[in-house]
Amino acid sequence: QMHGDLVYLEEALASYQVLVKLIKKARYSFLAEESKLHLQSNALTVFEEGIEIALRLHEITKNNPYLSAAFNFAEQNKSILMQEALASNQALGFGGIPDSLLEKENNLRNDIAFYKRQILELKRKATFEEEQLKQKENELFALQKKHQTLQATLSTDFPDYFTLKNSADHLRVDKLQNEQLEDQELLLEYFVGQQMIYLFAISKSAVHVFRLPERETIVKGVERIRQLLMRPALSRQLKAELEEIN
């Protein structure tokens, strides 16, 4: 029975790893940031289940490569938009791109962000004019179309730039342990899934993964701390609550 479970889990792990590759490939086919965000939100379950399968394999076999596989799922889950933003900072220094195009892209991103904030603030009001909301949404849509057109131009005329801009390498356990971590250092990384929160603790010589209990309790506690941090006047209350948590 255990052998059968092991074979099944190994096949499942391989399938999830292929699925992640397909998700990443699909990501590059999307130009709109909203499409990438939608893909990532729907893919969260895939990464979470991949982590759980890898951990179950480790529990059965005690083979550490399965812990590395679990960490890889967590790493690749990192926000698509965050990775793209980091890659964009590197791509800005890439030669051969007219400054006017880079400036145009940056201006479009800023304008899109501005109108998104305007629409959000308008919707938060108790009452607002539908016509005003419609006008802002139309302006946002027009900007997004312009941005998609520019992205298509960059991908066609400057493929090296576009590839760099959309590249997003992720941390690997072997690289962390061999090249980045010192003897007394410990990397802590959290994965917040829909069902579970995982904590990865990686040192130069070991990898540990913990399933954290009571996901909702942790999420509520983090949100409470975030709210308090945004209100400096409540710093004393924050200190008291942190002491209570500890």
205-221: pLDDT as tens digits: 999 999 987 777 887 88
Percent of the chain exceeding pLDDT 90 equals: 33
Q: What mean pLDDT is predicted for residues 141-154?
A: 91
Phi, psi dihedrals of residue 208, rounded to the nearest 5°: -130, 145
237 confidence band (pLDDT: 50, 70, 90)? low
The pLDDT, as a whole number, for residue 72 is: 93
In this predicted model, what pLDDT tens digit does every residue of 50-66 receive, in sequence order?
Answer: 999 999 999 999 999 99
The pLDDT, as a whole number, for residue 192 is: 86
pLDDT above 60 (res 167): no
The pLDDT, as a whole number, for residue 70 is: 96
Query: Which neighbouring-strand residues pair with 191?
Result: 198
Which of the listed ranges 9-18, 102-111, 127-136, 223-232 does the model predict with the highest average pLDDT? 9-18
SS3 126: coil
159 confidence band (pLDDT: 50, 70, 90)? confident
pLDDT above 90 (res 199): yes
The pLDDT, as a whole number, for residue 226 is: 78
The pLDDT, as a whole number, for residue 155 is: 82
Taking Cα atoms as reference points, which of 108, 163, 162, 171 lies closest to residue 139? 108
Looking at per-residue pLDDT, the higher value among 216 and 74 belongs to 74
Percent of the chain exceeding pLDDT 70 equals: 76
Which of the listed ranges 70-84, 86-100, 228-242 does the model predict with the highest average pLDDT? 70-84
- Helix runs in the chain, H state only: 2-29, 33-61, 65-76, 80-91, 99-124, 130-157, 159-165, 173-175, 215-229, 235-245
Looking at per-residue pLDDT, the higher value among 236 and 179 belongs to 179
